[in-house]
Structure formats: C-alpha cells, structure tokens
Amino acid sequence: MNKTAIVIGATGLVGSHVLNLLLQDERYQTVKVFHRRSTGINHPKLKEHLVDFKNLDFWRSQLTGDELYSALGTTIKKAGSQEAQYTVDFTYQYETAKAAAENGVSKFALVSSAGANPKSRAFYPKLKGELDQAVKELPFEVITILRPSFLEGDRSENRLGETVGIILAKMFTKIPGLKKYRPIFAETVAEGMINSLQKCPPGYHIFELDEIFYL
C-alpha cells in the first residue's frame, strides 16, 4: 500500500508515538505533519508543515491524504485559561478535521479522554465530550474515538497532577471491578489509533478505557 497519513499534535505524548509508528509502517508512503514547531525528525517519508492553526485557510488545501490522526492538546496551565485550552483542544482539532474531510480524507482517529461527556459539569470532560460529538457529524467514512485512562510515558514537561493520578490509579485498579481504569502507555494508545483505522468498518466507533488494549 502507498497510503498518506496526516498527523496533528505530533510533538505530544501520544502524537509523537503515532508519528514514529507511521514512519516505520510499510503501508504508508507519506506522513504529513502539521504543527506549530518542528518535530526535529529527518525521514524520507516525513513531510513537515509548520503552520498557524489560527489561519487554517492558508494551508487547508494541503490537508490531503487517506487518514487523519488527531492528538493535539494542551493544559489550562500551559494555555493560560479555559478559553485558550478550548481553542486548542476543540476548535483547532475540529476545524482541521472538517477541512480534511472536505478534502476527501476518508478516515479519522481522535484521542479523547476517559469520562468525556458533553453534558458534564466539569470543564475538561465536557470539552472532550463536545469534540467527540461534533466530529461524529463530519463526512468521514470511518471515525474512531479512543478514550484512555491516565497516560504513561516520557513527557517533555512535568505534570504533577497526572503523576499523582497514575500512582493512585495503579493502587485502586487492583480492586476488583476497577481494572479497566488502569493507566495505559501512550505508545499503546498510538498503536490503537492506527489499528482502529485498519480494522473498523465504516461508521463511528468509540473505544473506552481497557478496550484500547485490545486494539
């Protein structure tokens, strides 16, 4: 196969693994990355585009290929406000996906979060739930949403809250019935995203928590 994959969020914890796996995968001839800063990777398959997500009209025509992998995200601390985080986590991802679908990209994989719910009273799960619901209406042939528990892996930044959460999750998930909430390595999520677009039939598919391990 000589497929073209598109990745946004390729310098993040999950996105970086998605990118590395795609570059190693013989099914893909080209991997396009759209990001605000360089990945620092030199590879014959890689076509890197440094873009401003606020100005999608300048580069939307380049969003062409077979599959889109979306792993873009930030934190309130890094973004500075809930509004700024919403712009990155919802607006940028949704608008990029919409443009790709309009350009004929047929498959879309999105990494969401455990507990995502558009009706939640909490900001983050509500944000994630709204995005999951919004992309459902886009004209992709296949849409897969992965909702992992706490992510394990080497981050470029220290997130104390997530570190504590992982420690607690490992303790409590030993209790019968809570195993599905166990932390998951970012590379496993990345593998699940790629495999989901190869295995799933046309339609909209959500994979919760430990279901991702089986992808």
Tokens of 52: 């401003």
Closest by CA to 100, choosing from 4, 195, 26, 198, is 4
* Block mean pLDDT (10 aa), the chain, length 215: 94 95 97 94 96 96 98 91 96 98 98 95 96 97 94 60 52 55 86 97 94 90
* pTM metric for this prediction: 0.89
CATH topology of domain 3-150+184-210: Rossmann fold (3.40.50)
pLDDT of residue 177: 56
CA separation for the pair 164, 21 (Å, rounded) = 29
Domain boundaries, the chain: 3-150+184-210
End-to-end C-alpha distance for the chain, whole angstroms: 21
Query: Residue type for 71, please?
Result: A
CA separation for the pair 140, 162 (Å, rounded) = 33
